[in-house]
Amino acid sequence: MSKLPLWLRIGGNSAASLVLGFLVLPILAVVPASFNKASFIYLPPRAYSGVWYERFLEDAEWRTSLLNSLQVAVLATAIAVVLGTLAAIGLRRLEGRWRAGITALFLAPMIVPVVVTAVALYRSALDVGLSGSILGMSLGHMILALPFVVINVGIALRGVDENWLKAASGLGGGPWTVFRTITLPNITPGIVGGAVFSFITSFDEVVVAVFLAGYSNKTLPVKIWESIRLEFTPVIAVAATMMIVLAIVLFAVAQLVSSGRETPTK
Amino acid sequence: MKNTGLPLRLEGVSKRYGKYTALTPTDLTVAAGEFLTLLGPSGSGKTTLLNLIAGYLEPMSGTIEIGSRDVTRLPARQRNIGMVFQSYALFPHMTVGQNIGYGLAVRGVSKAESTRRVSEVLSLMRLEGYADRPIQKMSGGQQQRVALARALVIEPDVLLMDEPLSALDKQLRRTVQLELRRLHQEHGRTTIYVTHDQEEALVLSDRIAVMDQGRIQQLGTVDDIYDRPANAFVAGFIGESNLLPVKVNAVAEGKATTEVEAFRRTIVAPAAPGVEAGQTARLLLRPEHLLLNETDDGVPAEIIEAVYLGELSQYGLALESGQVLTARRITDRSLRTGMKVSLSWDPGHARVVPEN
């Protein structure tokens, strides 16, 4: 369909491919690296094996850190989705200038340097005894994830016609019924998108986790960071590969949900 | 499902947004089974009034009663009203049947009963067999009928419609108008209908409330409004009209003696209430009531324009004062541009109305 001249199309596509390769290939390099047979990371590996995957699963510390990460991410996502959805609905009801101001407040965790948030959380967590706990890290990550839910659900809400809600309540639906039967089905893609971003934000977050993790409650990124300072084993590549695969799976799920939900507009 | 609905009574209902008055304190009584149209230009307060009745807005003052129930402080969902929106507001993620059954489902009506009533209303709307269609697959006219079916199936005490035909093309609008009239005649239910289209109002209504500037300017039957408009706004809004400024010299026994500047003569004509001696007012002459003669006892005028409309023709007439009037007559080929004619009318057809 493009009306650009051929040379420009080829040139443009090549440039785009180069940029994409530059961004993606270093990340993908960890995948072959994780299949090294040797106890040092050679790239490309001299011999392949799954031995480091076994090592990862046998090691209690690695296993625990993976489970911790999953727990923290699930909890952070659940809280962020509920609060973020409520916030997005509330924001829509506000008058113009209030809406702009309070939206900025909700998006602040995206803009404030993470280390600042981390220090603040560290101090507060000590005060309330949440330091070093799964719940503490979850709440910290929830704050970082909240903007993604507020944005995604906010965009989805723009597709919800105010008159649908008026019609539903006129037909006898109470506020909760109207939310459940009209609003929720129409913003599900936004909620799923927000949830995926939340999960990934939490799952690969390292700064807040370093500040809040105790000795026994390390998350996977914290464990990677600690390990890499001691030894450079392919187990780290295994952990990194797992994170990449999980991220890809989650984004695929989000894509499926949002495209499956897409209905032809009038 | 023959059910005439309930009467509706509003007393002193008003609405303001900051300094802007959307509706001045308004009284309105609608009989059970009556079809009342709120007719007016945009910003006249008609939609505000409808939303107040529906319960989507809360009035600043006054009371609203449906039947013998005071619903002033009740939310929309407790008023048992059926509302048809201008945009239809159909739920896009549901089928036709689910849309129509929504009001029954949230009322806890059993599945079997709901299915029966939905199919009943589908056949009333001539939409048999469409229950499982997605809403998006329905045409504009069909969606309009689904919206009406959804409002009717809950057997509302009052049916409210907010410009329900404005999204349809002209051809379809005509058909649906007649369809709405048939439905109302068969299953007459108290109906409040909002429109800015006078033709729609004339076709459908038992009574019309003409609204402007946040108040009902006149409430009456089609004949009342057309033949006996209460003021210049109503006269100008409904039908075509020539409205000439006049000075009222005297009012007696329902007739006003007025000086008509444009005619340079004094005329006696029936007067609307509110016309007072010593004030200015308007003389209403409908285009179809103006007679064009070749004798010279009437008001002299020249035909400056003749538009052939088929059976009828419309004539532009310039008076000696420079005032231009419009007349509409059965087409007469002998009347041509440039001809001098003399204007007259049946004295009973002229009317003096207050300026506002």
Q: What is the pLDDT of residues A70-118, one digit of tens each?
A: 999 999 999 999 999 999 999 998 988 899 999 999 999 999 999 999 9
Chain B environment of A260 (Cβ under 8 Å):
none
pLDDT at A264 over 60: no
Whether B106 and A164 lie within 8 Å, measured CB to CB: no
Q: Are B101 and B114 spatial neighbours (Cβ–Cβ below 8 Å)?
A: yes
Instruction: Please write the tens of the pLDDT for every residue from B314-353.
Output: 999 999 888 999 999 888 888 888 888 999 898 889 999 9
Cross-strand partners of B81 = B158
Nearest chain B residue to A171 by CA distance is B103
Instruction: Please write the tens of the pLDDT for every residue from A112-169.
Output: 999 999 999 999 999 998 888 899 999 999 999 999 999 999 999 999 999 999 999 9
Q: How confident is the model at residue A263, as a pLDDT?
A: 45
* Phi, psi dihedral angles at B291 (to 5 degrees): -100, 135
Dig out the tokens for A203 from the structure: 């799952």
pLDDT at B70 over 80: yes
Q: How confident is the model at residue B332, as a pLDDT?
A: 83
pLDDT at B295 over 80: no
Instruction: Please write the tens of the pLDDT for every residue from A10-25.
Output: 999 999 999 999 998 8
3-class secondary structure, A69? helix
| Cα–Cα distance, B34 to B208 (Å, whole number) | 11
Mean pLDDT across the stretch B280-291?
Answer: 93
| Cα–Cα distance, B173 to B168 (Å, whole number) | 6
Q: How confident is the model at residue B51, as a pLDDT?
A: 95
| Chain B residues touching chain A at CB-CB below 8 Å | 54-56, 75-83, 85, 87, 89-93, 102-103, 106-107, 134, 136, 150, 154
Q: How confident is the model at residue A261, as a pLDDT?
A: 54
pLDDT at A5 over 90: no
Dig out the tokens for B98 from the structure: 């689910």
Whether B154 and A166 lie within 8 Å, measured CB to CB: no
Distance from CA of A186 to the nearest CA of B (A): 7
Worst-scoring range by mean pLDDT, B186-190, B256-260, B321-325? B186-190
Distance from CA of A180 to the nearest CA of B (A): 11
Whether B91 and A171 lie within 8 Å, measured CB to CB: no
What band does A266 get if pLDDT is binned at 50, 70 and 90? very low
Whether A169 and B102 lie within 8 Å, measured CB to CB: no
- The dihedral built from the CA positions of residue B128, B132, B137 and B142, taken in this order, carries a sign that is positive
Triad B79, B82, B87: Cα angle to 5°: 125
Dig out the tokens for B318 from the structure: 């310039």
Task: Show Cβ contacts of residue A231 under 8 Å, excluding neighbours closer than 6 positions.
Answer: none
* Phi, psi dihedral angles at B303 (to 5 degrees): -75, 115
Nearest chain B residue to A266 by CA distance is B136
Q: How confident is the model at residue A216, as a pLDDT?
A: 77
Q: How confident is the model at residue A255, as a pLDDT?
A: 85
| Cα–Cα distance, B90 to A60 (Å, whole number) | 56
Nearest chain B residue to A161 by CA distance is B89
ipTM for the predicted complex comes to: 0.83
- In a 10 Å sphere around its CB, with 0-12 CB exposed, 13-18 middle and 19+ buried, how is residue B67 labelled? middle
Domains with residue ranges and CATH for chain A: 63-261 (1.10.3720.10)
Dig out the tokens for B276 from the structure: 């007072």
What band does A265 get if pLDDT is binned at 50, 70 and 90? very low
Residue B294: name the closest of B337, B335, B338, B350 by CA: B335
Dig out the tokens for A118 from the structure: 């981390």
Q: Which of B55, B78, B92 sits opposite A263 (nearest CB)?
A: B92
Chain A environment of B75 (Cβ under 8 Å):
169
Whether A170 and B76 lie within 8 Å, measured CB to CB: yes
Percent of chain B at pLDDT above 90? 68
Q: How confident is the model at residue B172, as a pLDDT?
A: 84
Cross-strand partners of B16 = B21
Chain A environment of B82 (Cβ under 8 Å):
170
Nearest chain B residue to A262 by CA distance is B93
Worst-scoring range by mean pLDDT, B59-68, B111-120, B163-172? B163-172
Q: Are B231 and B274 spatial neighbours (Cβ–Cβ below 8 Å)?
A: yes
- β-strands B242-252, B255-260 pairing: antiparallel
Domains with residue ranges and CATH for chain B: 8-227 (3.40.50.300), 232-353 (2.40.50.140)
Q: How confident is the model at residue B230, as a pLDDT?
A: 94
Mean pLDDT across the stretch B281-292?
Answer: 92
Interface test with A, best of B47, B87, B93 (most A CBs within 10 A): B93
